[in-house]
Amino acid sequence: MLLLKTFFGILFQTLLIGIFLYLPAFTLNWNDAFLLLCVHFSIAFIASIYLVIYKPASIEARMNYDSEAQPQEDKLATAFMFSALTLGFCLAPIDIFHLNLSSSFDGILKNIGLAVYVFGILLAMASMIANEFAETTVSIQEDRGQRVIDTGIYSLVRHPMYTGFIFLIIGVNIWLGTFLSLTLSLIFLAVALKLRISIEEKTLLNDLEGYEDYCKKVKARLIPYLF
């Protein structure tokens, strides 16, 4: 049952990204976008099979969304984050097919964009493998015995899932978009990440035992040795 729910979850996620790309483009004749969707679904599903077999609690955590328990400020931050990610995908087709305000990427740099996108997916999946408490909402899961995770990718940065989002947005805009769409997408995402991380860390510092010591040990929030 969990594998089936995971399959439909990944399928829904892929279709949603497809809507973000194809609807603003107002055309289905976009092979590069179709390739990105195929790559996204394939990698996400294969990684999810691993999670279902070896880390089912991580998959279940991502499926758990308790809006009643979610603080109001986190609801705002979540909505802002979703909007920033949506814009990150939508701005590429808007400039490519309609505005043409800046040049697109081509050659080896364009191909690097797809590789960067794949790296973003893998980072997000690595976060789920390492952290079985990585829910979509900010809350302390006392019923599941939540503890500080400081192993795996969490030994390098405190918010690797968000690092994955950064690479996703960079990748999709280099592969499909323009210099302008990449710049604007990163600006929107940076603002959203600042808000979400601020709220998340305030909750964890106040309510999760050992998180303050973890912050002293792992100083980087998103990029090792930088910030």
pLDDT digits (tens, 9 = 90+) for 153-167: 999 999 999 999 999
pLDDT digits (tens, 9 = 90+) for 165-213: 999 999 999 999 999 999 999 999 999 999 999 988 998 898 889 999 9
Contact at 8 Å (CB) between 88 and 172?
A: yes
Average pLDDT over residues 85-99: 96
pLDDT at 142: 64
Residue 62, pLDDT above cutoff 80: no
Q: Residue 180: its pLDDT value, please?
A: 96
209: left (phi over 0), alpha (psi -120 to 50) or beta: beta
Round to whole Å and give the CA distance between 185 and 76.
Answer: 19
Q: What angle do CA 139, 142, 143 make, to 5 degrees?
A: 115
In this prediction, residue 71 has a pLDDT band, given cuts at 50, 70 and 90, of: confident
Asked whether residue 5 carries a pLDDT value surpassing 90, the answer given is: no
List C-alpha distances in Å: 140 to 2, 40, 51, 96, 144: 23, 30, 22, 43, 9
Residue 105 DSSP SS3: coil
Between 6 and 98, whose confidence is greater? 98
- 2-25 vs 56-63: helix crossing angle, rounded to 10: 50
Quote the radius of gyration of the chain (alpha carbons, Å).
18
Q: What is the mean pLDDT of residues 122-139?
A: 83
With beta carbons less than 8 A apart as the criterion, state whether 84 and 192 touch: yes
Q: Give the burial class of 73: count Cβ atoms within 10 A of its Cβ; 0-12 exposed, 13-18 middle, 19 or more buried.
A: middle
Structure tokens at 44: 């996400």
| pLDDT reported for residue 217 | 95
**Does 1.20.120.1630 match the CATH number of domain 71-217?**
yes
CA quadruple 178, 181, 184, 187: dihedral, nearest 10: -80
- Domains of the chain, residue spans: 71-217
Supply the pLDDT for residue 65: 57
Q: What is the per-residue pLDDT for 69? A: 62
Mean of pLDDT over the chain: 90
